[in-house]
């Protein structure tokens, strides 16, 4: 029996709308993506998604609460876990997001810039509810909305996160993010090998052949976050638009 990989649809939100993200940059006015993040959450749930990955770009870039009511409604509208990344800078931020109903937080820059705060989160909530995002450009870790190069190799940083107690790493090759050119499976496998934990791959999936390649590495990569390929119907027999057009949300 083939190894199973958990497919996690991504819902990227900016200015209260669903957006397409290319190389970490959100693009508005993408008509194929629909405007309503809550409706997209319901569609993915109708497609039998077991988990949703939500990114709040307003919170990430200006620490605003513009989308918080939408995040809360997503959590209330589906009966599956919702993990969220973006704008988590303090313990209070984390508490507020958990109060909205978020199941797991994905912490990025804070883990690098304020490791003491990150460890406090890990110790308080536990590693099942706090995971770490590693954004990578040319094998170098980048932070602050993927705009600041740290000079730290990905393997070194990944090991540091695991030493702090992290049990879940979400690895994104920024140059492949939203490009539909295939994922960096070797990068994720290397991180898994060098840390001893399974990782979540994010970025680059262009369709079923890529997903099959990830499945072949499921002993290292046990889950994959997919955005653009799902929204643009890159998988055979994908039903999301038939579900949307059937009027189930009217």
Predicted structure pTM score: 0.90
Q: Which of 15, 32, 93, 135 is catalytic?
A: 135
At 246, give phi and psi (nearest 5°).
Answer: -80, -10
Q: Which of 12, 56, 93, 210 is catalytic?
A: 12
Q: Residue 39 is encoded by which pair of tokens?
A: 């409706």
Tell me how far apart the alpha carbons of residues 9 and 49 are, in angstroms, rounded to a whole number. Answer: 7
Can you tell me the mean pLDDT for 107-132? 96
Q: Quick one: pLDDT at residue 33? A: 63
Q: Residue 151 is encoded by which pair of tokens?
A: 């000079």
Residues sharing a CB contact under 8 Å with residue 112, sequence separation 6 or more, in sequence order: 141, 143, 150, 152, 157
Can you tell me the mean pLDDT for 201-224? 90
Tell me how far apart the alpha carbons of residues 214 and 7 are, in angstroms, rounded to a whole number. Answer: 10
Can you tell me the mean pLDDT for 205-227? 90
Tell me whether residue 12 is one of the annotated catalytic residues: yes
User: Looking at the 3D structure of the chain, how many domains does it have?
Assistant: 1
DSSP per residue, 123-155: HHH-TTTEEEEEEEETTEEEETTTTEEEEEEHH
Percent of the chain with pLDDT over 70: 86
* Domain interval for residue 217: 6-245
Confidence band of 248 (pLDDT split at 50, 70, 90): very low
Q: Quick one: pLDDT at residue 20? A: 75
Highest mean pLDDT among 13-17, 62-66, 96-100: 96-100
Under 8 Å between Cβ of 228 and 12: no
Tell me how far apart the alpha carbons of residues 48 and 202 are, in angstroms, rounded to a whole number. Answer: 20
**Does 113 map to a domain?**
yes
Q: Quick one: pLDDT at residue 28? A: 52
**Does 239 map to a domain?**
yes
Percent of the chain with pLDDT over 90: 62
**Does 250 map to a domain?**
no
pLDDT tens, position by position, 139-156: 999 987 777 888 999 999
Question: In what helix (H) or strand (E) does residue 66 lie, and over which residues does it extend?
Answer: none
Distances (CA, A) of 15 to 39, 56, 66, 220: 16, 9, 7, 36
pLDDT tens, position by position, 178-197: 667 789 999 999 999 999 99
CATH number at residue 94: 3.20.20.70
**Does 1 map to a domain?**
no
Can you tell me the mean pLDDT for 212-234? 89
Confidence band of 174 (pLDDT split at 50, 70, 90): confident
Tell me how far apart the alpha carbons of residues 225 and 9 are, in angstroms, rounded to a whole number. Answer: 6
């Amino acid at each position: 029996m083939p190894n199973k990989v958990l497919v996690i649809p991504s819902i990227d939100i900016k200015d209260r709308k669903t957006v397409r993200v290319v190389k970490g940059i959100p693009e508005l006015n993408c008509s194929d993506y629909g405007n309503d993040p809550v409706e997209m959450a319901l569609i993915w749930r109708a497609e039998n998604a077991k988990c949703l990955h939500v990114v709040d770009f307003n919170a990430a870039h200006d620490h605003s609460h513009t989308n918080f009511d939408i995040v809360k409604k997503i959590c209330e509208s589906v009966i599956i876990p919702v993990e969220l990344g973006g704008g988590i800078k303090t313990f209070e931020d984390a508490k507020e997001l958990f109060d909205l109903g978020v199941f797991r937080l994905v912490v990025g820059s804070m883990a690098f810039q304020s490791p003491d705060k990150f460890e406090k989160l890990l110790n308080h909530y536990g590693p099942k509810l706090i995971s770490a995002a590693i954004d990578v450009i040319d094998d170098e870790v980048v932070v602050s909305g993927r705009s600041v190069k740290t000079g730290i190799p990905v393997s070194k940083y990944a090991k540091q996160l695991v030493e702090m107690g992290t049990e879940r790493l979400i690895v994104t090759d920024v140059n492949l993010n939203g490009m539909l050119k295939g994922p960096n499976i070797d990068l994720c496998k290397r991180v898994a090998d060098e840390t001893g934990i399974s990782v979540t791959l994010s970025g680059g999936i262009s369709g079923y052949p890529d997903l099959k390649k990830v499945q072949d590495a499921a002993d290292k990569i046990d889950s994959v976050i997919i955005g653009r390929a799902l929204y643009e119907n890159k998988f055979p027999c994908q039903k999301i638009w038939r579900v949307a057009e059937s009027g189930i949300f009217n």
